[in-house]
Structure 1
């Protein structure tokens, strides 16, 4: 099977037709599944907040990172049931997520649960946009004593900084509210969720800045699932 390479954010809206819009409302909770081995199953709940019936498709992809990109590959190691759901207006349902593989977990396994509202062919109208919702939910199976082990580099680029983090550990690192500073002065910041770096992987993020130094030592601070993190890196480039 060919891997699917893309950047899927936690909520993606697809525009299917024409210049005006009718919105759909598919809601899910929780927005992350973090299972500690030996736990192998959990659930999410889906709701239809639209005033009409909708159909929902649920799929699971293996999630890796290669050359700094997210790679999603179809998998049979984790199953989601039911895979297709019909939801009446105001209706809800449970989706069960189970790791079916019997292979021992040596380090954290990462997946994405993709929950799509399916477009309704009968609702197609000339000049009308149907907004169809996708949720991409991280799913982790984490062995005991797993932890990230990160190293950081920073490069001055056009219009900001490129922050690269390498994770040689056995667990992902989730980064949000990233701040770069030097000598007590804030150089740049990127609020909200910045992204994940999976175990044994590396990723790079761009942090916009209007001006700032192109050398010296930079302090990196951010929120993570383990609390506030702080690191230092020598800036490269200019």
Structure 2
């Protein structure tokens, strides 16, 4: 096992937008809307969060909004339906070039909790000759910030998987999420012996794992990149 630790920046940057509209070749078609911000931090002195959906298409778009509770178990992200949040409005139509204000309140507010907000286009009736209708679906994070001075506190451990690949685990004992942009494992000469650019978030009081892929070489440090900078964590691999 390898172990190291570092303190994250005071505030994690806006979380990753996990689902977005891809490029579809004709005859497929999809509405176009965008949402800002792409991550919602509800501070302790705020009773609700809010965001705006902008319809940048030339046609009206109908949207359904739902919420999922977001947790981490066994190093992986988990989501499940929840009634903790109240999204207003939950279903709406936005005219071309217009925008819709969406507010997110609470039935049950838990400091440090995390959620995924899912905005899904409701397809209209198919018109002959228009081809395939593709529904746009966006998935954004919402964080209930525990306190103004909340910060992540990460420790790192690693192991070899059954196939010999290097698996690292980030464990967050702090009260704020930490967004990871990339991780490298380097040996004593500075040579990269494992790497991943798979971005992810370590939630408060939770852990998440990444597979770095390297089989050869002995890591002596992890280089963890976040939106706030780069941290070097000394590590030791048990035989």
TM-score (ref. length: structure 2): 0.78
- 1:171 is displaced (CA, Å) by 2.1
CA separation in 2, counterparts of 1:90 and 1:159? Answer: 53
Structure 1 residues 77-107: Cα deviation after superposition (integer angstroms, max 9, x where no partner): 2211111110122221111112343x5x4x4
Is the Cα–Cα contact under 8 Å of residues 62 and 94 in structure 2 kept in the other structure?
A: yes
Q: Tell me: CA distance 1:205–1:167, structure 2 relative to 1, closer, same or farther (3 Å).
A: same
Per the alignment, residue 228 of structure 1 pairs with: 230
Per the alignment, residue 72 of structure 1 pairs with: 79
Map 1:88-127 to 2 at 5 A. 88-101=95-108, 105=110, 107-120=111-124, 122-123=125-126
What secondary structure, in the 3-state scheme, does the structure 1 residue paired with 2:236 have? strand
Count matched residues.
219
Per the alignment, residue 92 of structure 2 pairs with: 85
TM-score (ref. length: structure 1): 0.78
CA separation in 1, counterparts of 2:200 and 2:238? Answer: 22
- Structure 2: 5+ residue runs without aligned partners? 1-15
Per the alignment, residue 186 of structure 1 pairs with: 192
What secondary structure, in the 3-state scheme, does the structure 2 residue paired with 1:11 have? coil
Structure 1 residues 192-213: Cα deviation after superposition (integer angstroms, max 9, x where no partner): x61011122211112345x641
CA separation in 2, counterparts of 1:72 and 1:82? Answer: 22
Question: Does 2:64 correspond to 1:57?
Answer: yes
Q: In angstroms, what is the RMSD of aligned CA positions?
A: 3.0
- Structure 1: 5+ residue runs without aligned partners? 1-7
1 or 2 for the larger relative contact order (CA 8 Å, sep ≥6)?
Answer: 2
Greater strand share, 1 or 2?
Answer: 1
CA separation in 2, counterparts of 1:94 and 1:127? Answer: 30
Per the alignment, residue 4 of structure 1 pairs with: none
Per the alignment, residue 28 of structure 1 pairs with: 35
